[in-house]
Every structure is written in structure tokens, then in C-alpha cells.
Amino acid sequence: MNLTARRERYRAILAGDRCVHPASVFDPISARAAEDLGFEVGMFAGSIASGTVLGAPDLIVLTLTEFAQQIHRICRAGDLSLMVDADHGYGNALNVRRTVEELETAGVSCLTIEDTQLPLSFGAAGEGQLISVEEGVGKMKAALSGRQDPALVVAGRSSALRVGGVAEAIKRAKAYEAAGVDAMFLAGAQTRAEVEEVSAEVNIPLLLGGAGGELADLDFLSGAGVRVALQGHLPFAAAVKAAYDTLKALREGVAPADLSNQLAPPELMGQLTRRGNYDGWVKEWLG
């Protein structure tokens, strides 16, 4: 895997003048589909990792090892530049450094470290709590210290817009920028005014999670310094529904032949499993 080349392509997007939507991926097949369809970036979220690997909700019960293993499977399957949500780095600043080491080795092009108090503490309610700015800065510095390939993008992430308001989001974005992060992920942004206010105060690119409504305009986002804007994680939800519906139909007695129009055709399965490559290798090496 030429990981540096993938990371340089991701950095080129950050240095460019347009915003792109990443493909939400969750396994090798979905990553290959995204690559074949021309997506510049793949996104593997912590919530989707928890669902894919554990069948559990997004409550930080997934371990770093489990996360890194699935990332490695995704990255080795193709050449897609993959960004990941590394949550809080699985602990304190020392854990963050270890997280960066593991995820860089697994193949990511960009990872985000957030300043949310995770996992949920006893008695926590509402939209969650943020760690102090000082602790957040320590985590960002630790993340940067753990980076070996300078092409790897380390991004700060904060939910301050929803928890503390615009002023708090700006304070944290500026602090993490000063610590040296390459980009800032704004979780929970809902209005153009919020994005414009933060963008005006920082000099690093912005990443957005779940941009919809008035933030669905790519031209606006591009002009506001946003370079990557998520669209949610529909592919995994679609895959879950398709599997459930197919199993339900079979359980209820529907004949397999009657489900053929709902299945991936052999040509698509061959494409995404790279059957042509394997056929060639079999002929060349096995006679």
C-alpha cells in the first residue's frame, strides 16, 4: 500500500478551493465501491465501526485494536484516501499518541481527535461534556507527536458549537490550530453563520459532520473554507436493511429465485471482489 500517496491526495483536497463529500464506508467491499464510483475520500466513523465490528451502539465500547484492524482491512482493499473518527483517542493524551501510531500503521490518511469527555461519565446527561481546553491542547500535541509520516493529516474535532456555542468553538479551534493540527472538524454545525464565524477566526481548513439543510450547498462550503463535509452514513444503514429484508423474506418462505432482482448481479460481485485479478493470478501461478 502506498499510504503516503493517499495522504498527499487528501492534503491536496485540504489545500484546494472546493469542498467534497466523502463516501461513508465500513468494509473492503464498500470501500472498493466508493473508489470505483470516483469518490476522492472515504470516511469510516467510530459509530459505524461499533456497528460493523460489535453490533453495538456508539457508546465507546469498541477498542482501539478492533478499530485499527477494520481500518487495515479497508485500506488494504484499494487505494482510497481514508479519514477516520478516532473519537477521544481512547483515553488521555498518552493513549492518543498510541492511537495515532496504530491508525497511521493501519493506513489512514486523516484522523480526528475530539475534545468530548468519553466514555460517558456517571451522571452525564444532555449533549455531553467537553474536556478543558488545556487537556484538549495536550491531546492534539500528543497526536502530532505520534505521527511518523508527515503527510498524515491530524485534525482536531469539537462539539463546542452545540455544547458551548460559537464563542467556545472559536476558542477551541484557535487553540488547536496553535497546537499545530492540520484541520478542524466542526461537529454539530447547523447554520451558515456558525461556519462563517469560525472560518473567519482560523487559518486551517474546516471539516463538517452531517452537513445538511442550509449547509448542503457545496459552493457555500467551498467559499467558507470547508474542504470535506459528511453526508451521514447511509450506506451502512442501507446494507443492514437489505440484509434484514432478505433474511426476513427467506424466513417467511420466499423462494431465493424470487429475490434475484434485489441482489448484486454477478458482474458487480466480480468487480468488487476483483475477480479478474484473481483469475489472472490463478492462470499465471497455478497453471
Q: Give me the sheet containing 183-186, strands edge to edge.
A: 23-24, 41-44, 81-85, 110-114, 153-158, 183-186, 206-208, 226-229
What predicted TM-score, i.e. pTM, was given to this entire model? 0.95
Fill in the DSSP letter of residue 28: H
**Nearest C-alpha neighbor of 25 from the set 75, 61, 65:** 75
| pLDDT recorded at residue 234 | 97
| pLDDT recorded at residue 108 | 98
- Tell me the residue type at 128: G
Q: Characterize 91-117 residue by residue with b for buried, 16 or more Cβ atoms within 10 angstroms of its Cβ, and e for exposed.
A: eebeebbebbbbbbebbbbbbbbbbbe
Fill in the DSSP letter of residue 130: B
Which part of the chain has CATH 3.20.20.60? 3-233
Specify the DSSP element, H or E, that contains 152: none
Helix (DSSP H) and strand (DSSP E) numbers for the chain? 13, 8
CATH of 3-233, one of 3.30.310.50, 3.20.20.140, 3.30.360.10, 3.20.20.60: 3.20.20.60
Q: Could you list the pLDDT tens digit for every one of the 287 residues in the chain?
A: 799 999 999 999 999 999 999 999 999 999 999 999 999 999 999 999 999 999 999 999 999 999 999 999 999 999 999 999 999 999 999 999 999 999 999 999 999 999 999 998 887 765 579 999 999 999 999 999 999 999 999 999 999 999 999 999 999 999 999 999 999 999 999 999 999 999 999 999 999 997 788 999 999 999 999 999 999 999 999 999 999 999 999 999 999 999 999 999 999 999 999 999 999 999 999 98
- Only one residue has cell 469510516, namely 44
Q: Which residues contact 81 (CB under 8 A, 6 or more apart)?
A: 6, 7, 9, 10, 40, 41, 42, 109, 110
In the structure grid, which three cell numbers stand for residue 90, read together? 481512547
